Amino acid sequence: MKIITLPKENFAEFVGHLCSFGEIHAPIKRGDRSFVFAPVKDASEIELDCVRTILPLKKYFFRPMEVMFNFCAGEGYEIPSEVTDKRIVVFGAHPCDIHGLNILDMVFNGRYVDTYYLARKSKAAIIGLDCIPDDLCFCRSTRTDFVDTGFDLFLSDIGDKYLVRVGTSLGDDMVRAAESLFYEVQKEDRDAYKRKSIERRESFKTEIQLQDLPGIMDLEYESQVWQDVGETCLSCGTCSMVCPTCYCYSVFDELDLDGSSGRRKRRWDCCLFKDYALVAGGHNFRAKRSSRVKNRYFHKQRGFVSLYGRPSCVGCGRCKAQCPSGIDIVDVITKLRSETRV
């Protein structure tokens, strides 16, 4: 992989160059202590120290709500052109964010291709940025604290410079567009990177053991833990909305008053909603909240492993940070594990 450095004093100018590759989106502040990815005009607006945004990057490619196609009697179906229009540059994606997108890439590709997601994804450049974990981050446990694919450029803070890994040809184009701002990697840069890497590794405060979790989940299928979480869970949907890898959606038709034209839409759905597994006729395969909670953990930590070879949790901490009733995934998993040890 091509690796170069960008002195921090050149950063703002580099960001200035990026707008020729699309609208720049980066973390900015919202509310007292929250952050969101949103359009920025220049580098000064970017919150470089943001640990996590409210919504992950999926919002750009898999929209909270979107029109799948319009319909009109006698004229058939028409896909909205918006899907393929706009180029964006996402700056400041953390390794867990990028892993989240890589997981969605797997889901939305496959035998059938989700054209909406992929059309938007193909129009976006991803520039990663490393970060210092807070108390809620457990991406080291999920092995998503480092990323080697899924970005065009990735910036690591090594003091007064960024070490820049170039992931794609588009990333290289972005570098070439501002070539004079970049430098070759020196020995002291390599040393600084390695030093920082250790520092970062040692700053993780939360750790859970996940490797053998699928087996433990099978073993603890009837655990009281699920009942307890079911009593606390509000079924409010927050954890799914903010999860980088929750991809469930619900499809519905919306009619115009003429009764013949309208649109088919989809919106983010959540497996904790009461009617998630409801079938026509009224049978609900997961009528109890505890069974829905269990299904959610099972899917992330057990089912996804069988389907795609890895758990779908990226350890970003959003579900804990945003849960109104304070359900903590690390806590739930720890309880499951300790029950096994007894």
Partner 1 sequence: MSSKPKIGIYGLTGCAGDQLVILNCEDELLDIVGATDIRSFPMAMSGGDENCPLDIVFIDGTVVQPKDEEMLKRLRERANLLIAVGTCAVWGGVPAMENKFSREEVKKRVYGPTGDLFKTITPQPLSSFVKVDLSISGCPIEKEQLLQAVASLLHGDLPRLPNYAVCTECKMAEYPCLLIEKGHLCLGPITVAGCKARCPSYGRPCIGCRGPVEEANISSEVRLLKEKGFTPSDIQNRLRTFAGAADSLQMESLKEGTNA
Partner 2 sequence: MSDAHNYTSDENPYLPKPARIIRTLPQILDHQLFQIRFEKEEMINNFTYRPGQFVMLSVIGTGEAPFSISSSPTRPGIIELCVRRIGHVTNALFKLPPNAPVGIRGPYGNGFPLDKLEGNNLLLVAGGLGMAPLRSLLRYALDNRSKFKDVILMYGARNPDDMLFKYELLELIEQPDVKCLLTVDTDNSGMWKAHVGVVTTLFDHAEIDPNNTYAAICGPEIMFKYVLEELLKRNFSKNRILMSLERNMQCGVGKCGHCMVGYKYTCLDGPIFNYWDAINLPEMV
Binding piece for partner 2, criterion CB under 8 A, among 23-31, 52-60, 148-156, 181-189 = 148-156
Q: Is 162 near partner 2 (CB under 8 A)? A: no
Binding piece for partner 2, criterion CB under 8 A, among 41-49, 184-192, 271-279, 321-329 = 271-279
Q: Is 285 near partner 2 (CB under 8 A)? A: yes
Residue 235 interacts, among partner 1, partner 2, none and using kind-specific CB cut-offs from 5 to 8 Å, with: partner 1
Residues within window 25-64 making contact with partner 2, judged by CB under 8 A = none
Least spacing, CB of residue 136 vs partner 1, in Å: 12
Selected from 77, 188, 234, 325, the binder of partner 2 by CB under 8 A is 77
Residues within window 85-124 making contact with partner 2, judged by CB under 8 A = 101, 105, 107-108, 110-115, 118-119, 121-124
Sheet holding 262-268, edge to edge: 76-78, 65-72, 262-268, 249-255
Residue 170 interacts, among partner 2, partner 1, none and using kind-specific CB cut-offs from 5 to 8 Å, with: partner 2
Q: Report residue 116 as tokens.
A: 């909406």
Selected from 18, 26, 50, 242, the binder of partner 1 by CB under 8 A is 242
Which of residues 54 and 170 has its CB atom nearest to partner 1 in the complex?
Answer: 54
Q: Is 262 near partner 2 (CB under 8 A)? A: yes
Q: Is 26 near partner 1 (CB under 8 A)? A: no
Which residues are near partner 2 by CB under 8 A?
68-69, 71, 73, 76-77, 79, 101, 105, 107-108, 110-115, 118-119, 121-126, 150-152, 168-170, 221, 247-253, 255, 259-260, 262, 264, 266, 269, 271, 276-281, 285-286, 291, 295, 298-299, 302-307
Binding footprint of partner 1 on the chain (CB under 8 A)? 30-34, 36, 53-55, 59, 64-65, 227, 230-238, 241-242, 252, 254-259, 262, 267-268, 270, 273-275, 287-290, 321-322, 324-326
